[in-house]
Chains A and B, each alone.
Chain A
Amino acid sequence: MSMPAPVPTPETTWFWEAARQHRLMLPKCVSCARTHWYPRAICPHCLGDASDRIEASGEGVIYTYTVMRRVAEPYALAYVTLAEGPTMLAQLVDCDFNGLKVGGRVKLAWVPSADGTPMPCFTPVA
C-alpha cells in the first residue's frame, strides 16, 4: 500500500514540482540567510517574505526513528537531520527494520505516493 499523496497548499506547489524531478529543495531566507523545515513562504526565523531555494545534498543522519508494527505492513518513521541543517520527518525505506540505528547515515530515496507525487524518504548507507 502506497503512502497517501501530499496535499499541497499555494505556498508549496514549487516544492512538490521540484519533488517530481527528484530534487529535495529547502527554502533559504533572503533576509536572514537561514534554511528551515517544513517549507513556508514566510521565514519562521525572521518572518522575511522572500526566500531562495537550495537543493539538499540528500545526505543526512537519523536523529530518531521508530518501526510501526501494529499495522498490516510495518513501516519505519524517522527524523533525519539533513547535512544542510534542518531535521525533517520521513520514512526509512529499503532497509532491515531491525538494523536501524540513531546516528546512522542515510541518503535520499524517492518513493511515489498514491497519486504518483514522489515523497522524500531515506535509506541507510554503510
Chain B
Amino acid sequence: MTIKHAAFIAGAYEHPTRKAPDKSVAQLHAECARGALADAGLTKDDVDGYFCAGDAPGMGPLSMADYMNLRVRHVDATDIGGSSYLMLVSHAAQAIKAGKCNVALITLAGRPRTDSRPRAVNPDQPDVQFEAPYGLVTLNAYALCAMRHMHEYGTTSEQLAWIKVAASHHAQWNPHAMLRDVVTVEEVLASPMVADPLHRLDCCVISDGGGALIVVSPEIARTLKRPLVAVRGAGEAVKHTMAGAVDLTYSGGRVSGPIAFAEAGVTPADIKYASIYDSFTITVLMQLEDIGFCEKGQGGRFVADGNLISGVGKLPFNTDGGGLCNNHPANRGGITKVIEAVRQLRGEAHPKVQVPNCDLALAHGTGGLLGTRHGSATLIMERL
C-alpha cells in the first residue's frame, strides 16, 4: 500500500494569536478546527476522522472529540512531540486509503507563553531518574548535539546563525510573526550564550496558539474549490540513546527522509520549498543533512550565505519565519510546517517569499529531544 496521491490536504489554518490568556486550550483547538474547515469549504458534520497528539486536553482524542461534538469513526492520538502533526497527516492518509475515514481533522493548540508551569514528569518513565536530576531540559539537550556537531565536522556558530538570519528575512513579511526584525549573523553571535554553543537567537520563540489541517479523500478533494495539494510520500522514525551507544551526529530523519522520498519517487533536488522544524538552529542543520539535502557534516556550508532565503538561495525554507521568528504554538512546531508548505503549494504565501511555480514541497520535523529520544517525520506534498 502506498499513500501517494491517496489523500489531499484541503484545509490549513494557523491561529493568528501568539498570546492567549483569555482563551482555554480546548477553545483554541476548536477555533483552529473551525478555521481549517472554513478554509477547505467543509463543515463539522463532514468530519469522520479526528487526529491530535497526546498533549490534547483529556485522554488522547476523547475530550476534544466531546468538546467539539465530533461524530467520528476513526481516531489517532500518536504522540511524537512537535513532529506528531507531520506524522498524523501520513496516518490520516493511510486511514483514508484504507477506507476508515474520508475527512480527517488534525488539531494542535497550547498556551506555554501564558501558562509556563513545567510539564509534569512521570516517574514511571524509565529514563527520568538518570536524566532529570542532572538538569536535562529541552535547551541543553539540543546544545549537546550542536557541541558534538561542531567537534566532529567543524560546524561554526556563524553557520548556525545563518539559519536564524534566513528565518528573519522571511518573518519581516509576516504580520503575525513574533519577531519581525531582520537580524544579521553578528547580531545572533552577540546575543547571550544560553547553553554553549547555542545563543539566545539560536532558539525558537515561545508562543500560545495552534493550528489545524483537513485531510480528505481524492473524491472529496475534487469537489472542493481549493487547489489540489496531494500527499505524495511520508516517513517516520524514532531515534534514541541506543542502549548507551549514544550518537548525536544524526537524527531520525536519516530513516524517515529516505522512506518518504522513496514513496514519493522524487529526490531532494526536486524539492522547491522545504519546511524544516526549527526548534533551534542546530535542529535545522542536522535535519537537512539527514534527509539528504547535503552530505553529513556539510550542513554548515549548506546553510551559509543565505542559501535558505527565498529568492536568494537554492532551498527556500520556513517562509513564514518558522519557529525561530514566527510561531511555535504549544512548543510543537510540526503543524505550522505543514501549513506553510500548503500555502507555498497553493501560491498563497506572501508574495515576497512565494517560490515561483512551487509544485513540490517537503515538511520535516523532530519531536521530543534531539539529544535523547525523538520522533522524526517527513512529508512530501505535491500540487496537482
**Residues of A at under 8 Å CB distance from B?**
3-9, 12, 34-40, 44-45, 63-71, 75, 77-79, 81, 85-91, 102-103, 113, 119, 121
Question: Are A69 and B192 in contact (CB-based, < 8 A)?
Answer: yes
Q: Please name all residues of chain A whose beta carbon is closer than 8 Å to the beta carbon of B133 when the two chains form the complex.
A: 3-6, 113, 119
B244 at the interface (CB under 8 A from A): yes
B266 at the interface (CB under 8 A from A): no
Question: Are B126 and A79 in contact (CB-based, < 8 A)?
Answer: no
Question: Are A86 and B244 in contact (CB-based, < 8 A)?
Answer: yes
Q: Please name all residues of chain A whose beta carbon is closer than 8 Å to the beta carbon of B148 when the two chains form the complex.
A: 63-64, 102
Q: Please name all residues of chain A whose beta carbon is closer than 8 Å to the beta carbon of B246 when the two chains form the complex.
A: 63, 79, 81, 87
Closest residue to A11 on the B side, CB-wise? B126
Q: Please name all residues of chain A whose beta carbon is closer than 8 Å to the beta carbon of B126 when the two chains form the complex.
A: 9, 38, 40
Q: Please name all residues of chain A whose beta carbon is closer than 8 Å to the beta carbon of B139 when the two chains form the complex.
A: 68, 70
Known A8-B129, A91-B134; judge A86-B124 contact (CB<8 A): no
Question: Are A69 and B124 in contact (CB-based, < 8 A)?
Answer: no
Further contacts, 5 of them, CB under 8 A, given A66-B146, A68-B137: A5-B133, A36-B244, A63-B246, A64-B147, A70-B194
Partner of A9, one of B123, B132, B195, B241: B123
Question: Are B135 and A66 in contact (CB-based, < 8 A)?
Answer: no
Q: Which of B139, B146, B243 has its CB near the most chain A CB atoms (within 10 A)? A: B243
Please give me the 5 A-B residue pairs with the lowest Cβ-Cβ distance, nearest first.
A86-B244, A37-B244, A66-B143, A64-B148, A6-B129
Bound Cα distance A37, B244 (Å): 5
Question: Are B129 and A7 in contact (CB-based, < 8 A)?
Answer: yes
Closest residue to A117 on the B side, CB-wise? B133
Bound Cα distance A87, B136 (Å): 15
Q: Please name all residues of chain B whose beta carbon is closer than 8 Å to the beta carbon of A71 when the two chains form the complex.
A: 135
Bound Cα distance A64, B146 (Å): 9
- Distance of A90 from chain B, by nearest CB (Å): 6
Known A68-B139, A79-B144; judge A9-B124 contact (CB<8 A): yes
B196 at the interface (CB under 8 A from A): yes
B245 at the interface (CB under 8 A from A): yes
- Distance of B119 from chain A, by nearest CB (Å): 15
Bound Cα distance A91, B129 (Å): 14
Q: Which of B115-154 contact A (CB under 8 A)?
A: 123-124, 126-137, 139-140, 143-148, 151
Q: Please name all residues of chain A whose beta carbon is closer than 8 Å to the beta carbon of B245 when the two chains form the complex.
A: 86-87
Known A64-B248, A86-B243; judge A75-B145 contact (CB<8 A): no
Q: Which of A3, A69, A71, A121 has its CB near the most chain B CB atoms (within 10 A)? A: A69
- Distance of A83 from chain B, by nearest CB (Å): 13
**Majority SS at the chain A contact face:** loop
Q: Please name all residues of chain A whose beta carbon is closer than 8 Å to the beta carbon of B151 when the two chains form the complex.
A: 64, 102-103
Closest residue to A65 on the B side, CB-wise? B147
Bound Cα distance A86, B126 (Å): 17
B220 at the interface (CB under 8 A from A): no
Known A8-B129, A38-B126, A66-B195; judge A89-B243 contact (CB<8 A): no
Bound Cα distance A9, B126 (Å): 8
Question: Are A87 and B244 in contact (CB-based, < 8 A)?
Answer: yes
Q: Which of B242-295 contact A (CB under 8 A)?
A: 243-246, 248
- Distance of A119 from chain B, by nearest CB (Å): 5
Question: Are A89 and B131 in contact (CB-based, < 8 A)?
Answer: yes
Q: Please name all residues of chain A whose beta carbon is closer than 8 Å to the beta carbon of B312 when the two chains form the complex.
A: none
Q: Please name all residues of chain A whose beta carbon is closer than 8 Å to the beta carbon of B144 when the two chains form the complex.
A: 64-66, 77-79
Bound Cα distance A78, B371 (Å): 11
Q: Please name all residues of chain B whose beta carbon is closer than 8 Å to the beta carbon of A6 when the two chains form the complex.
A: 129-130, 132-133
Bound Cα distance A81, B248 (Å): 13
Question: Are A68 and B244 in contact (CB-based, < 8 A)?
Answer: no
Bound Cα distance A5, B29 (Å): 37
Bound Cα distance A91, B131 (Å): 10
Known A36-B244, A85-B244, A89-B130; judge A66-B196 contact (CB<8 A): yes
B384 at the interface (CB under 8 A from A): no
Partner of A67, one of B129, B134, B136, B195: B195
Bound Cα distance A34, B243 (Å): 10
Question: Are A69 and B195 in contact (CB-based, < 8 A)?
Answer: yes
Q: Please name all residues of chain B whose beta carbon is closer than 8 Å to the beta carbon of A44 when the two chains form the complex.
A: 243
Name 16 interchain pairs, CB-CB below 8 A, sorted by A.
Answer: A3-B133, A6-B133, A38-B241, A38-B244, A64-B147, A64-B148, A65-B147, A66-B196, A66-B198, A69-B196, A70-B194, A81-B246, A86-B245, A91-B134, A102-B147, A102-B148
- Distance of B109 from chain A, by nearest CB (Å): 27
Q: Please name all residues of chain B whose beta carbon is closer than 8 Å to the beta carbon of A66 when the two chains form the complex.
A: 140, 143-144, 146-147, 195-198
